[in-house]
Amino acid sequence: MQFFLDTANIEDIKKYSTWGIIDGVTTNPSLIAKEGVSLEKRIKEIAEVVKGPISSEVISTDLDGMLKEGRAYAKWAKNIYVKVPMTAAGLQAVSVLSKEGIKTNVTLIFSAGQAILAAKAGATLISPFIGRLDDISEDGMALIADIVKIFQNYKFPTKVLVASIRHPRHVIEAAKLGADIGTMPPAVFEQLVHHPLTDSGIKKFMDDWEKVKNKQ
Ligand code: E4P
């Protein structure tokens, strides 16, 4: 399973890249807005740190605008994935961009039907938002199970990028289902690292070592 970092914060991206477990980065307009920098500047900065896929989302909602932005983003770095919302115009844009060899990520997927359409349009990645489904008392992980099964049935090359991950349980369940990628905020990486038994185990080892360290 690949792990992407879901943030536009360059300090966090630099920090977690040193852990050796980050395969890519996802951003969205809200994450960029939080940073108070231009999209182009920040995406280029991220591309200096991360060699794996970097998702950069279009702002336009019409086909021409999406194509113009997508083609421009693709020139910023070799590893840019143009993130396009799941709309009819978005599907058209993905179909055109993928034929031009530009990698795409269809975002805001909330149903298996939307996932099938995005895959048929030629999306490289699709982003089902599981946390936002859970937030409205739907079952986000059931959607991942459906999509993984459907993509296997038809051998769609499109990869399932589980998005809107809120906690480690989401990561583990998505991994059990065979999802290709999980994108998560820094807080979830921190939660994944820690376990109280690891912490108490280290403390016990160190305490015991203290007692004998000066003995020959
Ligand atoms: C993914 O590409 C999105 O940026 C992200 O996962 C959305 O997460 P949220 O629902 O926590 O905003």
- Residue 213 pLDDT grade (very low, low, confident, very high; cuts 50, 70, 90): confident
Beta bridge partners of 82: 56, 104
- Spatial neighbors of 207 by CB under 8 A, at least 6 apart, are none
Residue nearest atom 8 of ligand 1, based on CA coordinates? 164
Find all residues with CB under 8 Å of 144, minimum gap 6, and list them. 128, 130, 160, 162, 173, 174, 177, 179
Ligand 1 atom closest to residue 83's alpha carbon, by position in its atom list: 2
Alpha-carbon distance 75 to 71, whole Å? 7
pLDDT of residue 201: 98
Q: Rounded to two decimals, what is the model's pTM?
A: 0.95
Condensed to tens digits (0 to 9), the pLDDT of residues 42-89 reads 999 999 999 999 999 999 999 999 999 999 999 999 999 999 999 999
Give the per-residue pLDDT at 33.
Answer: 97
pLDDT > 90 fraction of the chain, expressed in percent and rounded? 98
Pocket lining: 127 vs ligand 1, CB cutoff 6 Å: yes
CB 163 within 8 A of CB 115: no
Average pLDDT over residues 178-194: 97
Q: Which atom of ligand 1 is nearest to the CA of 31?
A: 4
CA of 129 to the centre of ligand 1 (A): 7
Q: Ligand 1, closest atom to CA 184?
A: 6
211 Cα: distance to centroid of ligand 1 (angstroms): 48
Cβ(104) to ligand 1 under 6 A? Answer: no
Residue with tokens 């008392």: 137
Distance (angstroms) between ligand 1 centre and the Cα of 128 equals 9
Query: Using a 6 Å cutoff on CB, does residue 114 contact ligand 1?
Result: no
Q: What is the pLDDT of residue 214?
A: 85
Question: What does the pLDDT look like over 92-118, one tens digit per residue?
Answer: 999 999 999 999 999 999 999 999 999
**Cβ–ligand 1 contact at 6 (below 6 Å):** yes
Whether 23 contacts 44, CB under 8 Å: no
Q: Is the CB of 51 under 6 A from ligand 1?
A: no
Domains and CATH numbers, the chain: 2-212 (3.20.20.70)
Minimum CA distance residue for ligand 1 atom 10: 164
Q: What is the pLDDT of residues 9-46, one digit of tens each?
A: 999 999 999 999 999 999 999 999 999 999 999 999 99
At 96, is the secondary structure helix, strand, or coil?
helix
For atom 11 of ligand 1, the residue with the nearest CA is 164
Which residues are identified as catalytic? Answer: 83
Nearest atom (ligand 1) to Cα of 105: 2
